[in-house]
Every structure is written in C-alpha cells, then in structure tokens.
Amino acid sequence: MKRKPSPAEAPGPDVNAFAPADMAAGLGEMWKTVAGLQIPMEALSGLQADYLKQATELWNASLHGAKLPAPADRRFAGEAWSANPAGSFVAQLYLLNARTLQQMADKVEGDEKTKARIRFAVQQWVDAASPSNYLALNPEALRLALDSKGESIAKGMQQLWGDVQRGHLSQTDESAFEVGRNVATSEGSVVFENEFFQLLEYKPLTAQVFERPLLMVPPCINKYYILDLQPENSLIRYAVEQGHRVFVVSWRNPDESCKSWTWDDYIEQAAIKAISVVQEISGAETTDTLGFCVGGTILSTALAVLAARGEQPAASVTLLTTLIDFSSNGILDLFVDEGSVQLREMTIGPASPKGPGLLKGQELATTFSFLRPNDLVWNYVVGNYLKGEAPPPFDLLYWNGDSTNLPGPMYCWYLRHTYLQNELRIPGRLSVCGEKLDLGLIEAPVYIYGSREDHIVPWDSAYRSTQVLKGKKRFVLGASGHIAGVINPPAKKKRSHWIGKTAALPATAEQWMETAVEHAGSWWPDWAAWLAGHAGAKKAAPKTPGGKGYKAIEPAPGRYVKQKA
C-alpha cells in the first residue's frame, strides 16, 4: 500500500524556476513599462537593487533548507504553507513581488487621480496573481485533494458549474435564505404601491407611538432589507420598539419596461410621493425622515425640491453614510471621469443610439466586490473551487448578492451631476422636477452619521454634509465600515462611536475629530434620543395598517423586494 505524501512532500512548483536573475529579467519589461510613466530613475534603481538583494537572500535561504518565516498574511497562514518548502518559498516570493510593484506604483509621477488609478490597478493584479488562487501553487488545496482522493476537486468543479449557471460567484449558501421567511421578517403591510416602489408600514410594538411617523428611504442600488436582516439586528424593528410608526420605501427592481426612468422620476414619483402618502395616512403635517447611502441623496434632493415649492414636510432628517458634497469620495473616484461617464451615456443613457438601457445589478455588485477583492472574490474562489468547501449561510452576504438593476438615464444623471461635476451642493446649479435646487433651504434639523472605515462613503465625505445643510445639525461617527458600522445593535455591545464635545461643527472632519470623544457600543441609542426629541407627543398606536383611503395590499415584505435582477 502506497504511503500518502506528507504536506512537505505534496506536489508543488519547482523552486529552480524562480532564480533571482530570472525573476529580475521577468520583471524587467514591467519596470520599463512603468518607467514610461515617469518613475524617477534614482527611485527605480533603488527599488531594483533592493528587490535583487531581498530575492537573493530568499533564494539562498531556500537552497540551504532554512525554514522561512511564516508570512503575516492570512492567505498563507495555514500549516501546509510553512510545512511545504516550495509553498513557503512561493508565498514569500509573491509577497516580495507584490511589495515591489506597490512601491513602484507609489513612485509614479503624475496627478493624484492618475497615481491612485495606477495603485488600484497594480493592487488588482497583485491580488489576482496570488499563488493561493491557483491549485498547482496552493499546498493547502493540494493536500486536501490528496487526503480526499480527489473529492474536494470534484466538489469544487460542481460548485464552479453551479456558479456559472447562476451567473455569479457564490459568497454564501443562497438556498438557506428566503426573503420574508428568515430575512426581512418584521411584521408589517404594504399600504401603497406604484410602479416605482411599495410603501411598507410596520406593526407597532408599543401601546403608544409618537405622533410624527418615521419614513425610511433605503438605497435603490440594494434591497431595503439590509435594515431588517434579523430581528436582533434590525434598525427597522429597533425604531418600532422605540415607539415610532415606521414606514419604509421598498424599491422596485427595474426591468426592461423601466429602462427610461430618470432621476426626476425617482424624486417625484418615489421619494416625494412616499412623503405625501405617509402624511396622508398618518394625518401628520410633518414626518421624521431617514435616508441611507444613495437613499439619503435621493431624500435630500426630494426635500430640496419641496423646499423650492415652499413646503417643509420633514420634522427631522437622518442621513446615514450619505454623500451630498462629492468633492472626494475615496476609491470610487477612480472609476469616474468624463470619458467613463460619456461611455455610459452612449450605451445605456438617453444619448444611446439604441435607446436607454439598464445597468445590470450583477455588474454593479461585481464592481463593489472588486473594491475588496481578497475578501469578496478570491477568498471564495479558493474556498469554493480549489478546496470544494461550500460557503456557509450568512444573511449579510445573501443580501449583498441579491442585486438590483438601475435605469440607464437615472444612473447616468447621478454619475454626471454628483460624482463627476459635484453640482448637488451648489445652490441653483441643478434643476430637478422643474425646480432649482438649494439644499440649504431645507429647514429640518439633521442627524448625520458616518462610518470610520467606510470605503464607499468615506467618513470625511459624509461629514461635508454639515457644511451644505443649514439647519441645526448633529454629526456622529461610528466604527467599522459602510454596513457593519450602520447595522450595530446596542444589545451586541460591539464597536464604538464618536461624538463631538460641543455642538460646533468646524469646516473639516479632521478639526471635528480633534475634540471628539469616543463612546463604547452602538450609536443607535444616541440617535434614538435625538429622534425622540423631534417626534412629537405620544398617542395610541393604530390598530390597523394604512388609513384615510390606504388599505393593506399585502403583508410585508411585499412583492417588489422579491424580484430578482
């Protein structure tokens, strides 16, 4: 009976193929190419000399059988990498190459946007080239294949074929979830619908509710139920428990019949209409409002349109990780310039020779995944396909993969007038729904929240809203990222948040941070206390959903949220 090879003996690459001279020659052409982007020769020579020195040391250590130090990188943290000399060498060589390429990108001369694009492109290439992503170079996957007698490879191929049929990379066990059954389960009803959205009203959980209802406008680039994943982390349920009569916009997932919808349509026929219906149902003259991400941009635009018409329907405005001033927006700025916007306008926008089209949800989801490729792409390539491990159930990743389409004209307007030309912040520059916009005319007090590690809406970008809006404002900074920072229920006792020592909001986020005080736990209680101060007196909770001509159409979460892109 043949003995199974030990991890150290598992098949791996031939280290003789990676001699320092060959590696230097292989990188030579790339060095010449990058040198064409005007890297100072002195810096380039220094990087090349440093690379050759480190590569030679690595090569000599490998030839003499020295145990290489374990890389401080979780992709290579498994015992199989350190136990296999070839695997250990390849991992260390890859990390050396990656560092060198990143250093080269940092040395490129040019404007900041060009340099940032080069760094991003290099990082994408570096992440894709990791030896952990390839079966022949991954000793963990090879050992698993040997131990399972090829079963792991067979399962991996089955999962690859399944993802090909689904049209996307699986990040979770999608069969484990169903909207309305074990996600988006807060009890409520659809009390209004048109072709753009359904309006959900949630069943009160208190005997009395505040007289002013709360309307939530989630982003239209995702499904609303990020605000209602599970009962224990649902912002919707939390607001209901605090005694608010909660209404939520559930956007329609656009299909071909919706491809001509414009930004004006989303403002007039959705956001403004939702505000009007909530007022009619509740009988309240003003309502508390909340917008999340793009939903906050839509809500702010709608309130500015109404302000231009002499209406002030908002008693308060909450903006969660929302952009209004698009001066600098982190990594997303890399994708937007005049050429890229014109391309969209000519392919799916109103200027398209073939007529308007849809931005497919999967395209948008893939773009966002590649902002963090190791976590959201290659991690699953390795696990799903190389190791044959089915991804575990995870509600957040199920929501993340439940993508939505966007109408081309709406998307192109948004790209040009916000990300590219940053006109939303300038009074009178834009006309929406026939009105000149001035966000400074919104009189309602505003609660502005940013997440410190947010790569979609950098927190200093969220802070800039304090300089555009003119009403009384409060800014709070939470720990973590775009989603985890927002969805942080108090009961979990996780993370922290920062509040300014005074109500003053200086010109820059850095100035504000100098005097901000960190507090343990969720920011939700701070927001709840602030919101209660604007919600009015208490009254008996309604016994039935809807009212004044608006009857329950169907139970929440409704049909629209179940439509697939």
Cis check for the bond before 557: say yes or no (omega within 30 of 0). yes
User: What are the pLDDT digits (tens) for 113-156?
Assistant: 888 888 999 999 999 999 999 999 999 999 999 999 999 999 99
State residue 473 phi and psi, 5-degree precision.
-130, 150
Q: What is the pLDDT of residue 1?
A: 35
Q: What is the pLDDT of residue 246?
A: 98
Q: What is the pTM of this model?
A: 0.89
Task: Specify the DSSP element, H or E, that contains 216.
Answer: strand 214-217
Q: What distance in Å separates the CA atoms of residue 7 and residue 86, rounded to the nearest whole number?
A: 11
Extract long-range pairs of 468-472: CB within 8 Å, 24+ residues apart.
Answer: 468/324, 468/325, 468/425, 468/439, 468/440, 469/300, 469/317, 469/324, 469/439, 469/440, 469/442, 470/440, 470/441, 470/442, 470/443, 471/317, 471/442, 471/443, 471/444, 471/445, 471/446, 472/445, 472/446
Contact predicate 281/550, CB 8 Å: yes
Neighbours of 359 (CB within 10 A): 23
CA atoms within 13 A on the CB side of 128: 8
Provide the 3-class DSSP secondary structure of residue 268: helix
Q: What distance in Å separates the CA atoms of residue 170 and residue 187, rounded to the nearest whole number?
A: 29
Task: Specify the DSSP element, H or E, that contains 332.
Answer: none
Catalytic residues: 293
C-alpha closest to that of 9 among 84, 113, 88: 84
Q: What is the pLDDT of residue 22?
A: 39
Q: 188-333+421-562: which CATH topology?
A: Rossmann fold (3.40.50)
User: What are the pLDDT digits (tens) for 33-59?
Assistant: 444 567 888 888 899 999 999 999 999
Amino acid at 367: T
Q: Tens digit of pLDDT per residue, the chain (565 long)?
A: 333 333 333 333 333 333 444 344 344 444 444 445 678 888 888 999 999 999 999 999 888 888 888 888 999 999 999 888 999 999 999 999 999 999 999 988 888 888 888 899 999 999 999 999 999 999 999 999 999 999 999 999 999 999 999 888 999 999 999 999 999 999 999 999 999 999 999 999 999 999 999 999 999 999 999 999 999 999 999 999 999 999 999 999 999 999 999 999 999 999 999 999 999 999 999 999 999 999 999 999 999 999 999 999 999 999 999 999 999 888 888 888 999 999 999 999 988 999 999 999 888 888 888 888 999 999 999 999 999 999 999 999 999 999 999 999 999 999 999 999 999 999 999 999 999 999 999 999 999 999 999 999 999 999 999 999 999 999 999 999 999 999 999 999 999 999 999 889 999 999 999 999 999 999 999 999 999 999 999 999 999 999 989 999 999 999 999 999 8
- Domain range summary for the chain, segments of one domain joined by +: 7-147, 188-333+421-562
Q: Enumerate residues 6+ apart whose C-beta is below 8 A from 128.
A: 373, 378
Q: What is the pLDDT of residue 328?
A: 87
The pair of structure tokens assigned to 464 is 């800039």
